[in-house]
Structure 1
Amino acid sequence: MKALLCERLGPAEELVIRDIPEPSPGPGEVVVAVRTAALNFFDTLIIRGRYQTKPAFPFSPSAECAGTIAAIGEGVTGWELGERVAAWLGHGAAREKVVVPAEALVRVPDRLDDAQAAGLFVTYGTAMHGLIQRAHLKAGEHLAILGAAGGAGLAAVEIGALLGAHVIACASSPDKLALAREHGAQEEIDYVEGDLRAALRKLTEGRGVDVLYDTVGGDLAEPALRSMAWEGRYLVVGFAGGEIPRIPLNLLLLKGCDLRGVFWGEFVRREPAAHRRNMERLLDWAAGGHIRAHVHATFPLERWTEAYALIGDRKAKGKIVLTL
């Protein structure tokens, strides 16, 4: 079977496609015939050794996939061959078949296509965990999202709107802001053209932001933090801007606000039942058309360099998916 492999650290151009033996499931496992494997920003980091997860060589990128059950291991009940499923693996999904613990599977509703199902876990799962378990977002609160047109940002826009928040999309161009508005944002800020702090204060009538969902970091972090409301919750989600900011801790004191990390992968490991509830709710929303699970582009596995380039150049407006 074909697999996209990282055999040494480096850029996406140094990945290779190899023929490798087909896997067999062990006890408690299933083999999934992968139809779609989604990519995320951290896939550009893990192949360079710049992510907290450092798999042994050779490994496949892509943390999430959708497909059908091709084989079932000993002791696995409640699943049948041919069922449509999706799963989050951490890494390893960019191959024709992959072994998955049965407890990690989620059924894919008939009305949901494979590309959307594969792309729900990391971006939507992170947004769900961040806004519900970490921020305790309430209806009517002001939610600002930095990087609102990327996969992670769009997920937060949609979920925030569904939860009843007043969503402020913050992005780097008018077309990205237009996309965020299509997904449920009510206000928008172009942080390249204007002063982020002044714009956030204006849109909240001087009160400040209740919840800030930051996928960018870098130079935007401090002005965003200075825009928080009293008892606001600043969610640290990622650093797509490339730099990890140095936060002046006195701002937390003066604002009476919280700085909260959103480490979705660790949440999945520590609280699997809460994770499953989140994902079942998301899949129902997606199947019912309440969230769009926007896929920017799909590429055959052999065109992985084009897929990586869209993410690395920050041109992706939604999810990038590899098809097998």
Structure 2
Amino acid sequence: MKAVICEEFGAPEMLKFGELPDPIPGKNQVLIQVEVCGVSYPDLLIIQNNYQFKPEFPFSPGGEVVGKIIELGEKVESLKVGDRVLALCRWGGFAEKVAVESDRVFVLPEGISSETAASSLYTYSTSFYALKDRAQLTAGETVLVLGAAGGIGLAAVELAKAMGAKVIAAASSDEKLALCKAKGADQTINYETEDLKGRIKELTNGLGVDVVLDPVGGKYTEPALRGIAWKGRYLIVGFANGEIPKIPMNLPLLKGCSIVGVFWGNFSKLESEQNRSNMNQLYDWIQEGKITGHTAVEYELEDAKKALSTLQSRSNFNKGLVRVL
């Protein structure tokens, strides 16, 4: 099969376009003919050896696939050949075929396009898990989203609004903040030109925010934590900044707040039924128009490394989508 191949860890430019053997599904797996695959930040981390999971060489990046099931493992009973599905596979998606564990495969309803599913449901499921299950967000609370123009951040802005919260979007440029406003953010902070902690206090009349969703890390974590309200919840989603921050542990004591880890990958495996329920809720909201998903730019399979390079340079605010069929 044709595939984008990673033979050693490094930059997107080191990826090759070529042939890999067709995957053979295991007993609890399905084989999927890939139609489209989303491009996400974990794809960059995986090829650079900076992710929690380390596939064996050679492998293809690409963790959010939409396609058709063409073969079932012998123990798979909940799916059937011909199903159009979303598969959250961690890697392997920049290829014509991928074998995926059946508990990470979701049948798509007719009303959701393949493009919307592949470009949005990975980031939206992560942000929804963070806000709903980890923060237990309630209507009327205030949410601060760091890195709000990124995939996770923009999903969080839209989902928090759908859940009835007030949203403060924080990002590094006015152009990015305009995108957040278009997604429903109530207020914004440019944390490159404004004092993050001071603006949080100003926008909340000194009370602080109830929830912080942080996929960025680095220098923004501590001032955001200092701007949290009493009994607030600080959601650690990732470290797109590249720096894992060190948090003064007197802050959660003084704030009476919780620092909560968000590891959707493990949640989706260990609590698969709850994850499936979350996915069904997202399906409903997309079909109802309550959430719209990301705007995507398509690339051909042989141009997938260009999609990753664009993501790495942050030169395009649109989601990348690799077209295989």
Secondary structure class of the residue paired with 1:120: helix
Match of 2:181 in 1: 181
For 2:274 and 2:80, locate their aligned partners in 1 and report how far apart those are by CA, in whole Å. 24
Partners of 2:13 and 2:309 within 8 A in 1 = no
Deviates more, 1:250-259 or 1:281-290: 281-290
- Distance verdict in 2 for CA 1:24–1:64, change over 3 Å: same
For 1:282 and 1:134, locate their aligned partners in 2 and report how far apart those are by CA, in whole Å. 17
Secondary structure class of the residue paired with 2:153: helix
Match of 1:234 in 2: 234
Once the two structures are superposed, the pairs formed by residues 299-310 of structure 1 within 5 Å of their partners are 299-310=299-310
2:299 maps to amino acid: F
Match of 1:103 in 2: 103
Match of 1:31 in 2: 31
CA drift of 1:150 comes to: 0.7
For 1:316 and 1:267, locate their aligned partners in 2 and report how far apart those are by CA, in whole Å. 30
- Distance verdict in 2 for CA 1:316–1:237, change over 3 Å: farther
Match of 1:289 in 2: 289
For 2:253 and 2:147, locate their aligned partners in 1 and report how far apart those are by CA, in whole Å. 26
Match of 2:17 in 1: 17
1:109-143 Cα distance to aligned partner (Å, 9 max, x none): 22222121113343111101110111010100000
For 1:309 and 1:26, locate their aligned partners in 2 and report how far apart those are by CA, in whole Å. 33
TM-score, L = length of structure 1:
0.95
For 1:103 and 1:245, locate their aligned partners in 2 and report how far apart those are by CA, in whole Å. 33
Match of 1:193 in 2: 193
Deviates more, 1:313-322 or 1:105-114: 313-322
Secondary structure class of the residue paired with 1:67: strand
CA drift of 1:155 comes to: 0.7
For 1:169 and 1:28, locate their aligned partners in 2 and report how far apart those are by CA, in whole Å. 41
Partners of 1:128 and 1:278 within 8 A in 2 = yes
Match of 2:55 in 1: 55
For 2:229 and 2:241, locate their aligned partners in 1 and report how far apart those are by CA, in whole Å. 24
CA drift of 1:103 comes to: 2.9
Identity across the alignment (%): 45
1:10-68 Cα distance to aligned partner (Å, 9 max, x none): 11111112212323434333211111111211211211111121111111111110011
CA drift of 1:252 comes to: 1.0
For 1:207 and 1:201, locate their aligned partners in 2 and report how far apart those are by CA, in whole Å. 6
Partners of 2:120 and 2:294 within 8 A in 1 = no
2:114 is aligned with 1:143: no
1:277-320 Cα distance to aligned partner (Å, 9 max, x none): 11111122223322111134221111123211221112342422
Partners of 2:24 and 2:31 within 8 A in 1 = yes
1:200-228 Cα distance to aligned partner (Å, 9 max, x none): 11111110010000111111111101100
Partners of 1:65 and 1:87 within 8 A in 2 = yes
Once the two structures are superposed, the pairs formed by residues 65-80 of structure 1 within 5 Å of their partners are 65-80=65-80
Q: Structure 2: which 5+ residue stretches go unaligned?
A: none
Q: Aligned residue pairs: how many?
A: 324
For 1:304 and 1:128, locate their aligned partners in 2 and report how far apart those are by CA, in whole Å. 27
Secondary structure class of the residue paired with 1:90: coil
1:121-177 Cα distance to aligned partner (Å, 9 max, x none): 431111011101110101000000001111110110111011100011111111211
2:124 is aligned with 1:124: yes
Match of 2:64 in 1: 64
Partners of 2:70 and 2:81 within 8 A in 1 = yes
CA drift of 1:246 comes to: 1.2
- Distance verdict in 2 for CA 1:138–1:233, change over 3 Å: same
Secondary structure class of the residue paired with 2:155: helix
Partners of 1:4 and 1:15 within 8 A in 2 = yes
TM-score, L = length of structure 2:
0.95
For 1:14 and 1:170, locate their aligned partners in 2 and report how far apart those are by CA, in whole Å. 33
RMSD value over aligned CA atoms? 1.5
CA drift of 1:78 comes to: 4.5
Partners of 2:211 and 2:232 within 8 A in 1 = yes
Partners of 1:142 and 1:165 within 8 A in 2 = yes
Deviates more, 1:78-87 or 1:145-154: 78-87
1:204-262 Cα distance to aligned partner (Å, 9 max, x none): 11100100001111111111011000000011111111211111111111111111111
Q: Structure 1: which 5+ residue stretches go unaligned?
A: none
For 1:190 and 1:296, locate their aligned partners in 2 and report how far apart those are by CA, in whole Å. 25
